[in-house]
């Protein structure tokens, strides 16, 4: 495998599982020095022990991205070891429900992680990127940001904000050499999907999995590795002309569904 990220220091939030873990692993395989930030420090440490790359072991940090003090401290510790070249704002949480089924507490909880978390991490890292004149920030959006998806009111609202923040940061920092992009996946087959089906459709998991898979015109869910492959490209020097764009990876969901 080519070392497209060789020598780069990358921070991946929510990197202990799912898409974040796949991104951390792929970054490490491509030569990056990877730091995983996750609220579940035991899961982050376990994931770090199982992942490795040519630049050495992955470092795990127990961090709640909604806590600005904890984020600033963790980012400061990482910067003390070297410049952060890549920040992947992947940490996020979901909620099921329309506006009537969404409480103020639900909205505040999603805001704290999905919006404020990206704000905290970006604000902590971007000053050093600006000073160096280089850096990449990759935000994890969702097709829910631009497509009407039933019973995803709060989640859609926060992911819409993620894409808007991406455009804003890209605009404000392009002339400082800092790029900012986002990826918006459709349904990706992770442990979260399996857990959701077991909780809400006991005994019907296989049938509902097929139904959810069929909502992508390509006929299946995506894999975390496919999202990670796109992330590797967008954060590499090969994508130096890319900024201020949201990239759907959705099996045709946005454009091919009638």
Are 88 and 140 within 8 A, CB to CB? yes
The radius of gyration computed from the CA coordinates of the chain, to the nearest angstrom, equals 18
Inter-residue contact 73 to 79 (CB < 8 Å)? no
In this structure, which long-range contacts are made by residues 217-221, counting pairs with CB atoms below 8 Å and at least 24 apart in sequence? 217/251, 217/252, 217/253, 217/256, 217/257, 218/251, 218/252, 219/251, 220/251, 221/186, 221/187, 221/188, 221/189, 221/193, 221/251
Active site positions, annotated: 155
Coil/strand/helix, residue 249:
strand
Q: How far apart are CA 81 and CA 60, in angstroms?
A: 14
Residue 15: how many other CB atoms lie within 10 Å = 32
CATH for 9-186+224-249? 3.40.50.720
Across the beta sheet with 33-38, what order do the strands follow?
59-62, 33-38, 9-13, 86-89, 135-140, 178-185, 246-249
Positive or negative, the CA dihedral 117, 22, 229, 10 is positive
Task: For 145, list phi and psi in degrees, rounded to 5.
Answer: -70, -25
Count of C-beta atoms within a 10 Å radius of residue 229: 15
DSSP line for 125-180: HHHHHHHHT-EEEEEE--GGGTS--TTBHHHHHHHHHHHHHHHHHHHHHGGGTEEE
pLDDT computed for residue 54 by the predictor: 83
* Helix, strand, coil fractions of the chain, as percent rounded to 5: 50, 15, 30
The SS3 call for residue 14 is: coil
Q: Which pLDDT score is estimated for 258?
A: 65
Digit-by-digit pLDDT tens for the chain (258 residues) are 577 999 999 999 999 999 999 999 999 999 999 999 999 999 999 999 998 778 788 999 999 999 999 999 999 999 999 999 999 999 999 999 999 999 999 999 999 999 999 999 999 999 999 999 999 999 999 999 999 899 999 999 999 999 999 999 999 999 999 999 999 999 999 988 998 888 888 999 999 999 999 999 999 999 999 999 999 999 999 999 999 999 999 999 999 986
- Altogether, the residues listed in the chain come to a count of 258
Main-chain phi, psi angles of 34, to 5 degrees = -110, 135
Given a contact cutoff of 8 angstroms between Cβ atoms, the answer to whether 47 and 24 are in contact is yes
**Segments making up each domain of the chain, as ranges:** 9-186+224-249, 188-221
Calpha distance 250→256 (Å, rounded): 10
């Amino acid at each position: 495998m080519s070392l497209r990220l060789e020598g780069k220091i990358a921070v991946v939030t929510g990197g202990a599982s799912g898409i974040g873990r796949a991104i951390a692993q792929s970054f490490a395989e491509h030569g990056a020095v990877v730091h995983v930030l996750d609220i579940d420090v035991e899961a982050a440490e376990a994931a770090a022990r199982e992942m490795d790359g040519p630049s050495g072991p992955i470092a795990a940090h127990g961090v709640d991205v909604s806590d600005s003090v904890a984020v600033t401290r963790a980012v400061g510790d990482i910067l003390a070891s070297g410049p952060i070249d890549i920040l992947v704002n992947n940490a996020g949480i979901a909620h099921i429900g329309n506006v009537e089924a969404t409480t103020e507490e639900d909205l505040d909880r999603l805001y704290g992680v999905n919006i404020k978390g990206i704000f905290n991490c970006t604000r902590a890292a971007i000053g050093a990127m600006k000073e160096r004149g280089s850096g990449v920030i990759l935000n994890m959006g969702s097709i829910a940001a631009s497509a009407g998806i039933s019973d995803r009111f709060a989640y859609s609202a926060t992911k819409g904000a993620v894409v808007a923040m991406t455009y804003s940061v890209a605009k404000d920092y392009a002339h400082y050499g800092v790029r900012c992009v986002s990826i918006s996946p459709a349904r990706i087959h992770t442990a979260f999907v399996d857990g959701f089906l077991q909780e809400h459709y006991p005994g019907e998991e296989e049938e509902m999995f097929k139904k959810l898979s069929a909502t992508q015109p390509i006929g299946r869910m995506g894999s975390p590795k496919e999202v990670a492959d796109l992330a590797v490209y967008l954060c590499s020097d090969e994508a130096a002309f890319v900024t201020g764009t949201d990239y759907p990876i959705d099996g045709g969901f946005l454009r091919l569904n009638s």
